[in-house]
């Protein structure tokens, strides 16, 4: 019985220590950001970059998942996301990276960002136009009138929007990000291929642009291109880095060129 009573106390003490550590990270701005390229498969050029935050390398709060879990449980989610976004925007502009910057925000941060002059304050220091930022709204649980209103206000300011599932907000110009779990070894799975094909068709009908995540196999990339997936990201195309790739490797460009010529020959034959 004593052990059962001690365990919750120890967990609470451990969490308290993590929160103290997180507050120190926020105060000293001890976050770093990396960028993973997203490529337009038809144009074979960079569409933009998704930013990922990192805590100190030797910290139990190194990964984005660890940081966000503790921050949101401690009521510090918006503060963490705002700092990470600010650092990413500064690095994106200073590094003169091409295309658009994709930033994954939680529901509370999206609502906060759409209110008052929050968007101008976030972008103003670096002088980045709203149209160069894409707000990633991920998670099926994210819904509701306040969130939809916030997304509409951000769209009115020319911010791009990205979602992980089709829905009423996936309209002309918005992006549909297809999770890596749907993509891995898709070339070897006819059933999953049919599901992906249907998803791409639905996205296109709603006016969305599709982005495949987690592409690691050239055979998957070739199939995605054949099916009409417009954009992709993943280790095959470029790993997250402070100095990310700005163009496709020759081998990947060759896969896309071969796939396209094959489609053209098939259409002509």
* Integer Cα distance of 115 and 119 in angstroms: 8
200-252 tens-digit pLDDT: 999 999 999 999 999 999 999 999 999 999 999 999 999 999 999 999 999 99
* Of 44-53, 159-168, 189-198, minimum mean pLDDT range: 159-168
Question: Which is nearest to 68 in space by CA: 41, 115, 43, 103?
Answer: 103
**Is residue 12 a part of any domain in this protein?**
no
**Is residue 92 a part of any domain in this protein?**
yes
**Is residue 9 a part of any domain in this protein?**
no
Top mean-pLDDT range of 5-14, 233-242, 256-265: 233-242
pLDDT at 93 > cutoff 80: yes
pLDDT at 2 > cutoff 60: no
How much is the pLDDT for 268? 45
**Is residue 100 a part of any domain in this protein?**
yes
**Is residue 204 a part of any domain in this protein?**
yes
pLDDT at 141 > cutoff 60: no
* Integer Cα distance of 101 and 94 in angstroms: 13
**Is residue 17 a part of any domain in this protein?**
no
* Integer Cα distance of 49 and 41 in angstroms: 14
- pLDDT band at residue 269 using 50, 70 and 90 as cut-offs: very low
The CB-based long-range contact list for 158-161 (8 Å cut-off, 24+ gap) reads: 158/129, 158/130, 158/131, 159/119, 159/130, 159/131, 159/133, 159/134, 159/135, 160/100, 160/102, 160/131, 160/133, 160/134, 160/135, 161/134, 161/135, 161/137
How much is the pLDDT for 140? 52
The more confidently predicted of residues 91 and 170 is 91
How much is the pLDDT for 7? 63
- pLDDT band at residue 142 using 50, 70 and 90 as cut-offs: low
Arithmetic mean of pLDDT over the chain: 90
**Is residue 13 a part of any domain in this protein?**
no
Look at the chain and report how many structural domains it folds into: 1
The CATH number linked to 76 is 3.20.20.450
How much is the pLDDT for 232? 98
**Is residue 20 a part of any domain in this protein?**
no
pLDDT at 167 > cutoff 90: no
pLDDT at 108 > cutoff 60: yes
How much is the pLDDT for 266? 45
Full residue range of the structural domain in which residue 210 is found: 31-264
């Amino acid at each position: 019985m004593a052990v059962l009573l001690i365990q919750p106390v120890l967990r609470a003490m451990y969490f308290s220590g993590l929160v103290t550590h997180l507050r120190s990270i926020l105060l000293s701005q001890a976050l770093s950001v990396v960028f993973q390229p997203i490529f337009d498969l038809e144009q074979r050029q960079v569409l933009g970059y998704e930013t990922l935050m990192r805590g100190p390398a030797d910290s139990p709060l190194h990964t984005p998942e660890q940081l966000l879990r503790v921050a949101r449980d401690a009521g510090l989610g918006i503060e963490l996301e705002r700092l990470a976004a600010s650092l990413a925007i500064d690095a994106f502009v200073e590094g003169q990276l091409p295309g658009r910057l994709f930033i994954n925000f939680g529901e509370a941060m999206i609502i906060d960002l759409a209110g008052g002059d929050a968007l101008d304050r976030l972008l103003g220091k670096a002088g980045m136009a709203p149209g160069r930022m894409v707000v990633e709204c991920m998670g099926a649980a994210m819904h509701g009138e306040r969130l939809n209103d916030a997304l509409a206000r951000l769209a009115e300011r020319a911010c791009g929007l990205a979602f992980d599932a089709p829905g009423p907000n996936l309209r002309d110009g918005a992006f549909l990000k297809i999770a890596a779990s749907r993509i891995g070894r898709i070339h070897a799975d006819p059933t999953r291929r049919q599901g992906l094909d249907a998803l791409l068709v639905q996205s296109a009908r709603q006016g969305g642009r599709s982005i495949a995540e987690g592409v690691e196999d050239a055979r998957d990339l070739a199939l995605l291109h054949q099916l009409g997936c417009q954009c992709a990201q993943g280790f095959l195309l470029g790993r997250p880095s402070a100095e990310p790739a700005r163009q496709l490797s020759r081998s990947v460009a060759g896969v896309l060129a071969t796939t396209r010529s094959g489609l053209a020959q098939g259409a002509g034959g």
